[in-house]
Chain A
Amino acid sequence: MRGLLRIAYKLLTNERGKFIALLMGIAFAVFLMVMMRAVFSGILRQSAATVTNTGAKMWVMDPAVNNVLTSIPVPDYVLDAVRSTPGVRSAVPLYSGAGLVRLSDGTYQPATLIGLDDTTLLGRPKLVEGHIEDLFADDAVIVVRDGEYPKLNSPGIGTTFELNDRRAVVVGIAETPASGLFGLPTLYTTFNRATSYIPSPRFTISYVLVEPTGPAAVPGIQRAIADLGYLALTEKQFSDRIADFYKYKTGVGTNILIMMVISFVVGLSISAQTFYTFVLEHLERFGALKAIGAHSRDLVFMIVFQVGVSSFAGYGLGVGLCSLLIMIAKARLPSYVSIITFGNLLFALAATIVIAVVSSYLGIRRVLRIEPFEIFRA
């Protein structure tokens, strides 16, 4: 058996051009599929950046909220109601909205403005420069140093600019695990100052951040908040809700899905076609093997093995190529985010297996139909 596979392997790989074409077809399809999903995973991660960066265990919000940026103000009494809900250890307000920065050169730059609870500063980012206490000074803001940071002309500590026509001074530089989707720089300040920057609406609380007494308290809190007419979500639930919004309620998810289907179909047709051509070109050899006395199952083994080798090598190549590209992109573009998840790899593997099965099925069907008699009459 091993000898047969060795012959099959030699027949496959000695035809170098064909073999490379076959590998490339599969690698290309895998690359596209993995890349599409990696990009999408990156988008999803970015879309939930505020949730990730804040790190609160639970979020209370208006039930119509499905994405952090477009928050719907929550009345002040909700904060008090949450605080008195059994199972809640503490609850603080969070402001999340947009601000317009006027840089010293006179240009405008929109930014995400996050206001942290004045007493606890819950959800504060990790500072790489400056001291967090300075945030209590007049007009103090903290700037996040991420891919969007240069859009504010890369301010240092002490830099001043106008934020919604009021003075703001940078007192700290922070770094966050995730950066946002919309290409906006992020500013942190205290809740009270944030709300003083905005033209005063009726309510100023965007979210109430909740620290439950323990995981067991979560369902009770959620029920109590629901009775209030609001929505309490765990950090994970909120991220998922945002992801679902982009997956299902915007065109992004559908488009990525379409691209993945196209990659799959292209990969399938290239590979099946190339392998079928390979089989056709080797028909005479398979026929000779049959005439000499190869059983049908010998030929099936050989073909399955040949397709298997090309498919898995192609899969590895495609995944490798994808990781390489993402690594290069990350090194060059600081704000670039693509994530290869385990599910992504598994999905591409399944697609590769489908491609392999279809390719070998076509090859096997053809080879089993060979009449060795044709070999004699050549």
Chain B
Amino acid sequence: MAGAAITATGLTKWFGEGDARTLAVAGVSFEANFGEMLFLVGPSGSGKTTLLSMISGVLRPNEGRVVVAGLDVWSLDDNQRADFRLHKVGFVFQDYHLFPRLTTTENVAIPLILRRHAWSEAMAQARGELDVVGLASRAEIAPGKLSGGEQQRVAIARALITRPEILIFDEPTASLDGDTGKRIMSFVVEHVLNEHRCILIVSHDERIFSFADRVMRMEDGHVVATERGAHA
């Protein structure tokens, strides 16, 4: 099902007012399709995280609009937007944001718990998801006891458990060594990416650009170039 997963038009965000005002994202427009893995690259402070946040419904743009999976994200009310995030979007945060006091399984089950699934059903499904990312044997362990790569996979399992149409990774490999980063990315390409899903990845890591379908380069809040990735 190739088609527009994300349509952004003139997305603009600034912080502060007057002299202190910084323009973080300056009128960015682009389209991303289902079945596509899109990389967002650029120097620090170029606006990548800000852009990602506006697309995923966590940061309101000052101008412009974005339609994701058929929903005009910023015309929804707060509850609808929370549901949009819960049902359509999966997040893998840069430092994972796992709950250290919950077990790995409980961490993965959280989106289902928020969707009011029964506890035992959520746990069973979470264990299944952990199996997919190859961590079945670590199900009852606290995430703090896992290696960085393993934590990353737990975060991926948590993002995947709701079968989101849009998957967002912020610096997925920044804190991993080169080999682990590559292994994670191969896993994503083989098992996570499909024609019903669009994956958006923010990264500084040149070593993984080869996995991209397209690479969008940002500088000072503008998209300065869009290149076809090696994977396309």
The interface residues of chain A, by DSSP majority, are classed as helix
Alpha-carbon separation in the docked complex, A11 to B99 (Å): 8
Alpha-carbon separation in the docked complex, A354 to B149 (Å): 46
Whether, in the assembled complex, B118 has its beta carbon less than 8 Å from a beta carbon of chain A, the answer is yes
> Please, which residue of chain B has its CB at the minimum distance from the CB of A298?
B114
CB proximity to B under 8 Å, residues A359-378: 371-373, 375-378
Interface residues on B, range: 35 or more
Alpha-carbon separation in the docked complex, A358 to B119 (Å): 31
Instruction: Check A293–B86 contact: CB distance below 8 A.
Output: yes
Alpha-carbon separation in the docked complex, A1 to B115 (Å): 9
Whether, in the assembled complex, B83 has its beta carbon less than 8 Å from a beta carbon of chain A, the answer is yes
Whether, in the assembled complex, A15 has its beta carbon less than 8 Å from a beta carbon of chain B, the answer is yes
Instruction: Check A4–B111 contact: CB distance below 8 A.
Output: no
Q: Mark B71-96, 1 if CB is under 8 A from A, else 0.
A: 00000001100111111010101110
Instruction: Check B117–A3 contact: CB distance below 8 A.
Output: yes
> Please, which residue of chain A has its CB at the minimum distance from the CB of B59?
A373
> Please, which residue of chain A has its CB at the minimum distance from the CB of B115?
A293
Name the A residues within 8 Å of B97 (CB-CB).
Answer: 284-285, 288, 375, 378
Whether, in the assembled complex, B116 has its beta carbon less than 8 Å from a beta carbon of chain A, the answer is yes
Whether, in the assembled complex, A2 has its beta carbon less than 8 Å from a beta carbon of chain B, the answer is yes
Name the A residues within 8 Å of B208 (CB-CB).
Answer: none
Name the B residues within 8 Å of A290 (CB-CB).
Answer: 82
CB proximity to B under 8 Å, residues A45-99: none
Q: Mark B51-78, 1 if CB is under 8 A from A, else 0.
A: 0110010110000000000000000001
Cβ-defined partner of A292 (8 Å) among B79, B94, B111 = B111
Instruction: Check B93–A376 contact: CB distance below 8 A.
Output: yes
Interface residues on A, range: 20 to 34
Whether, in the assembled complex, B165 has its beta carbon less than 8 Å from a beta carbon of chain A, the answer is no
Name the A residues within 8 Å of B82 (CB-CB).
Answer: 290, 293-296
Instruction: Check B114–A291 contact: CB distance below 8 A.
Output: no
Name the A residues within 8 Å of B59 (CB-CB).
Answer: 371, 373
A292-B85, A373-B59 as given contacts; A378 in contact with B91, CB under 8 Å: no
Name the A residues within 8 Å of B86 (CB-CB).
Answer: 292-294
> Please, which residue of chain B has its CB at the minimum distance from the CB of A15?
B101
A4-B113, A10-B106, A295-B82 as given contacts; A285 in contact with B99, CB under 8 Å: yes
Show 17 residue pairs from A and B whose CB-CB distance is below 8 angstroms, ordered by the A residue: A1-B116, A3-B116, A4-B114, A6-B113, A14-B101, A284-B97, A288-B97, A291-B56, A292-B111, A292-B114, A293-B86, A293-B114, A295-B83, A372-B58, A373-B53, A375-B93, A378-B97
Measured CB to CB, the residues of B under 8 A from A are 49, 52-53, 56, 58-59, 78-79, 82-87, 89, 91, 93-95, 97, 99, 101-102, 106, 109-114, 116-119, 122, 170
Measured CB to CB, the residues of A under 8 A from B are 1-4, 6-7, 10-11, 14-15, 284-285, 288-296, 298, 371-373, 375-378
14 extra A-B contacts, CB within 8 A, seeds A14-B101, A288-B93: A2-B119, A3-B117, A6-B113, A285-B99, A293-B83, A293-B85, A293-B86, A294-B82, A296-B78, A296-B79, A373-B59, A376-B49, A376-B52, A376-B170
Which 4 pairs show the lowest CB-CB distances between chains A and B?
A293-B86, A14-B101, A293-B85, A3-B113
